[in-house]
Amino acid sequence: MLSRVAVLAILISFLVIIPAPSSTKDARSVELKDYYTPDHYPSFQEINHTLHQIAKDHPDIARVFSIGHTWGWDPKTGRYDWPKPLWTIKISDNPTVNESNEARVYIHWHHAREWIDPAFMMYLINALVKGYYTNDTIHWIVNHYEIYITPLSNADGYIVDGNGNPSNLSGDWGPGGWRKNARDLNGNGTLDIDNLWDATGEGVDPERNWDWYWSNGNDNPSDPDYHGPAPFSEPEVRAERDFIENYSIDAQCVLHSFSAAILIPWFYTSQNPPHGAFFRDFARHMALRTKIDGDASSHFSYGRPDEVIGYSAPGGSSDWVYGKLNKIGIAVEMEPTYTLYGDGFHPSTSKIRTYITDFYEAMIYFIEISNSKLKSKSEANNQPNAYIVWGYAHDDSGNPLMGVTVKIRNTANGDEIYTTTDEHGFYMLNLGTLQNKYSNTTTFEISVGDATQTFTPNNDLGSERRDFTVSSVPEFSETGLGLSILVATVAIFIAVLRE
């Protein structure tokens, strides 16, 4: 039994270790550098090295792990003796912990010849890591979401298609290129690629191998979109499936190219899904954040594949994520557009930066809305649309108010959501996390302390900024909450002492 002295000692130590409000590492104490510059297509080797370097340099916000392996085709030996790990990076605060209150986003890619996508993912990873120290929005996203990225989930295919090196695209390579993985379909122990097109009876299309209307897919092994001998027959696809399920991914975005389009379910048919209005609404907001060839007045198109790129795609990953798991699943066809098509799968390296930055803001918006919780399909008609409200809270002197509660309330039905400002006085809330549907004429109240504003969520971009200047809000502070917990703890200890 503890002596009273020991209990008092514990109490005193508790007082001493009352946590100061958590603060982030000062940008000046971190060496900020760019891990990827979008002037080249990164190779398999560069991507692996860079991911591990980032995790080493930033263990507080990054972790790297493998979710599985490829078949392992090796161009040097022609045999399957090089199973490549599917390296995946997690970017979030507390990267070794799966925080149940944070939305989990998964970004990946499937088609070997679609080179702009791994480049985009490396740019995004770099932007998230660097932005954690330099950009309040990114800082918030890294603290409040878990972002998982597998830049080369078809690593074998990427090697087949030239490993990001344009000088490998001479002769028979050219436009067209390799799309599938490197499965040895004819079982002769090597990958038969005469002309480095994939119409040679080898390989499986990873984006047709998922178990959602898989049997509607193409069963001719010589076609670039061959769906494989069975659903989930491919190790790369099984690895992604297991990762998505085991990590309870909330929102998935698979990258493709080209066409400049944001694609939403259903992928397998020309029908709208139960949550079709929700998908279409946020896809429109994403599209409005895109540019075409650097021109901010033109945007990506959006809709179902049959509407936008002219064909349906059965057995795809996003349909499976949505249809099977009832989570958000979309695909993005990056640039170029068809009208800008030259070699659309391998754009000139001089276009990489433009094509990446044309889509970057839309990707950040997708991450922001990923904490929308899809209602069951039978309740989909009550699904609230995503809409981001963000801003800053300051005191009268302009100092950021940290740890104050920001509350949004639907005045029509009383639905409420909350968050707490960070050390920059910054906050972000998503109306997609409300309980019930609302319209773009619904009046919402947003308040910090006793300062209240009203708004209607009718901005075409699907977000708006609301700043607050507040004289005092002591009752909402985290420190106040901490003190309350301390007082309650002391009261319990005193009660124990009196036993």
By CB under 5 A, name the binding residues for Zn ion.
111, 114, 256
Amino acid making up residue 11 = L
Contact 138, 426 (CB under 8 A): no
Helix (H) or strand (E) holding 47: helix 44-57
Query: Which residues lie below 8 Å from residue 178, measured CB to CB, with a gap of 6+?
Result: 112, 113, 157, 160, 161, 193, 196, 197, 198, 203
What is the CB neighbour count within 10 angstroms for residue 486?
A: 14
Cβ at position 313, least distance to Zn ion in Å: 9
Q: 214 or 468: whose CB is closer to Zn ion?
A: 214
Amino acid making up residue 56 = K
Q: 160 or 434: whose CB is closer to Zn ion?
A: 160
What is the CB neighbour count within 10 angstroms for residue 350?
A: 8
Q: Which residues of 116-134 are buried (b: 16+ CB within 10 A; e: fewer)?
A: bbbbbbbbbbbbbbbbbbe
Q: 256 or 291: whose CB is closer to Zn ion?
A: 256
Find the distance separating the first CA and the last CA of the chain, reported in whole Å. Answer: 12
Cβ at position 318, least distance to Zn ion in Å: 12
Cβ at position 85, least distance to Zn ion in Å: 22
Cβ at position 246, least distance to Zn ion in Å: 25
Cβ at position 202, least distance to Zn ion in Å: 18
Q: CA of 172: how far to CAs of 19, 47, 78, 168, 197, in Å?
A: 64, 26, 18, 10, 8
Cβ at position 110, least distance to Zn ion in Å: 6
Cβ at position 319, least distance to Zn ion in Å: 14
Q: 205 or 368: whose CB is closer to Zn ion?
A: 205
Q: 224 or 235: whose CB is closer to Zn ion?
A: 224
Q: 228 or 462: whose CB is closer to Zn ion?
A: 228
Q: Which of 125, 143, 111 is nearest to 24 (CA)?
A: 143
Q: 143 or 154: whose CB is closer to Zn ion?
A: 154
Strand 444-448: give its sheet, edge to edge: 416-420, 405-410, 444-448, 451-455
What is the CB neighbour count within 10 angstroms for residue 485?
A: 11
Q: 224 or 273: whose CB is closer to Zn ion?
A: 224
Chain residue whose CB lies nearest Zn ion: 256
What values do phi and psi take at 471, rounded to 5?
Answer: -75, -45
Cβ at position 235, least distance to Zn ion in Å: 19
Q: Is the dihedral of CA 317, 331, 220, 84 positive or negative?
A: negative
Q: 102 or 114: whose CB is closer to Zn ion?
A: 114
Cβ at position 471, least distance to Zn ion in Å: 55
